[in-house]
Structure 1
Amino acid sequence: MNRRVILIFLFVSLLLVTRSFAYFLVTYVVRSGDSIHTISRELGVSMSTIIDFNDLSDPNNIKAGDRLKLPQPDGLIYEVQSGDTIDGIAKLFFAPVKELLSANNLSSSSLINPGQRVFIPMSLINMYQYVPQSTPYRWPVYGVISSSYGWRTHPVNGGASFHSGLDIAAPQGTPIFAASKGVVIAAGVNGGYGNAVDIQHDNGYVTRYGHMSKICVYVGQRVDAGSLIGRVGSTGVSTGPHVHFEVKDPKMNTLDPLSMLPTRDLMYVIRREDDGIAAGGK
């Protein structure tokens, strides 16, 4: 009986005993020959989830004997911030509210408190994302635009400066998703961008995501649109939690990201029973 079968057996057994859990953690002891890819396949947990739960600085350098914490089922944790609501958290993960409540055994009248941990099953994440039909990219994060592309007064030094991207403010720990499929070509500290990730897309364009609190991908990793790549933070030169989203053409000229994204009322959309969509929040 392999490890995945054992885990499924334990999961089902726990489910029969109690319905009061959203998820449980297992400890996986890395074996000789293991890689993040093989562990991901064997346990049915995405590579980004493994990195996110274990703060792996170099996922390609795990070694026999390392102990990894993995959620069952696959999913992500969000730590409630002051002022958060379940509706708001659902939008951060592009997830449906009703199913999120059910997954955490909460009701619409349940209170949530700062520091509380909410589990979002992977099966719910990005269910309510808008899949672009006429633009190259989806919104990488649900939030509020705090600074646009172009000339501005720099928020830190007060001087005139050209802002090469779009700042989207969101609570600390909000997930950041790849705007389109591609390959991670940079992941680490990048000057004033703080913790940042660059993705080269199949059309030769590059997107950058800056000021992360946590990076959940590694250089060389192939990602899809909507793959978790990190968490919102305020690293580097920053005045508060946000993601700096930047788009560069194949000649490395920056472009206004708003020209490449769906309209703001399509950040979060609700699927109707007829498979149509409706704006679910700006």
Structure 2
Amino acid sequence: MNRRVILLFLFMSSLLMTRSFAYFLVTYVVRAGDSIHTISRDLDVSISTIIDFNSLKNPNSIKAGDTLRIPQPDGLIYEVQSGDTFDYIAKLFFSPVDELIAANNLKPDSVINPGQRIFIPMSLVNLYQYIPQSSPFRWPIYGVISSDYGWRTHPVTGQPSFHSGLDIAAPEGTPIFAGSGGTVVFAGVNGGYGNMVEIQHDNGYLTRYGHMSKISVYVGQRVDAGSLIGRVGSTGVSTGPHVHFEVRDPRANTMNPLSMLPTRDLMYVIRREDDGTAAGGK
């Protein structure tokens, strides 16, 4: 009996014991010959999910005897914060709210409290993202623009400075998604950016995502548009939780990200069969 069959057996056994599950957490002991890729394949979870659940600094350094927490089915956790609603949490994951509520065996009128953990199955993540038709990138998070690209008074130093990206504010722990497909070329601490991920895209552009609380990818990893790459935080030089989203052209010049993104009313979109572009909110 292979590992996948054993895990499914354990998962189904747990369903017989309780009807209140949202997900089943497997403790997996790494065996000789395992890699992040084989574990991802055998347990049918994305690499970024494994990194996210285990806060792995270097997933390629895992060794026999290490233990990993693996969710079944594949999915992500969000810790409720003060003022959160189901509708808002669904938007953070670009997910349909009714299915998200049902996945947690809750009701639309259920009370959720700060600190409560909500499970978002990966099958629901990014269902309501806008797939760019005429812009190079999708929105990396659902949030509020707190600082535009260009000259500004620096919020920390109080001095005039050029802001090389777009700041998008959202609660700490909000998922950050790749703006387009590409390869991760940097994942770590970079001065005032704090925890930062840099992606070299297939279209020749490069994007940076700064101030993360958690990085969920590694250098060399291939990502698709909408792949989880980390979580919103306030690391580095920052006054609050947000992501610094920066776009550089093939000559390494910074560009106004707003010129490369869909309009703001397409930040969260309910895709319908008629045209796939009906706006669901902003």
Q: CA deviation at 1:276?
A: 3.2
For 1:49, the equivalent position in structure 2 comes to: 49
- The CA deviation string for residues 159-214 of structure 1, in whole angstroms up to 9 with x for no partner, is 00000000000000000000000000000000000000000001221000000000
Query: Which deviations, in whole Å up to 9, do the C-alpha atoms of 1:86-136 show, x marking residues without a partner?
Result: 100000000000000000011110111000000000000000000000000
Find the aligned partners of 1:29 and 1:50 in 2 and give their Cα distance: 13
Aligned alpha-carbon RMSD (Å):
0.9
Q: Percent identity?
A: 82
What does 1:125-140 align with in structure 2 at a 5 Å threshold?
125-140=125-140
2:63 corresponds in structure 1 to 63
Query: What is the aligned partner in structure 2 of residue 190 from structure 1?
Result: 190
3-state SS of the aligned residue for 1:240?
Answer: coil
Equivalent position of 2:32 in the other structure: 32
Alpha-carbon distance, 1:227 to partner: 0.4
SS at match of 2:27: strand
Structure 1 unaligned residues grouped into runs of 5+: none
Which amino acid in the other structure matches residue 82 of structure 1? S
Aligned residue number for residue 99 of structure 2: 99
- Taking the aligned partners of 1:153 and 1:14, their CA distance within structure 2 comes to 55
1:238-266 per-position Cα deviation (integer Å, ceiling 9, x unaligned): 00000000000111000000000000000
- How big is the shift at 1:16? 3.5
Helix, strand or coil: the match of 1:16?
helix
- Distance in 2 of aligned mates of 1:188 and 1:68: 21
The reply to whether residue 89 of structure 1 matches residue 89 of structure 2 is yes
Find out whether 1:219 has 2:254 as its counterpart: no
Which residue type is aligned with residue 138 of structure 1?
R
The reply on whether 1:262 has 2:262 as its aligned counterpart is yes
Distance 1:15 1:277, change over 3 A: farther
1:175 aligned residue: 175
SS at match of 1:167: strand
TM-score of the superposed pair, with normalisation by structure 2:
0.98
**Matches of 2:101 and 2:170, distance apart in 1:** 21
Deviation at 1:273, TM superposition (A): 5.1
Question: What CA deviation, in whole Å up to 9, does each residue of 1:47-79 have, x standing for no partner?
Answer: 000000001011110000000000000000000
Q: Aligned equivalents of 1:275 and 1:89: distance in 2?
A: 25
Distance 2:23 2:35 in 1: 24
Q: Which amino acid aligns with 1:260?
A: M
Instruction: State the secondary structure of the residue aligned to 1:11.
Output: helix
Distance 1:144 1:276 in 2: 23
Secondary structure of 1:137 counterpart: coil
Q: Mark the runs of 5 or more structure 2 residues left unpaired by the alignment.
A: none
> Is the partner of 2:270 in helix, strand or coil?
strand
Residue identity opposite 1:150 in structure 2 = G
Secondary structure of the corresponding residue to residue 272 of structure 1 = coil
Matched residues, number: 282
Matched, 1:23 2:41: no
Counterpart in the other structure of 1:79: 79
TM-score normalised by length of structure 1: 0.98
Structure 1 moving runs of 4+ over 2 Å: 12-19, 271-277
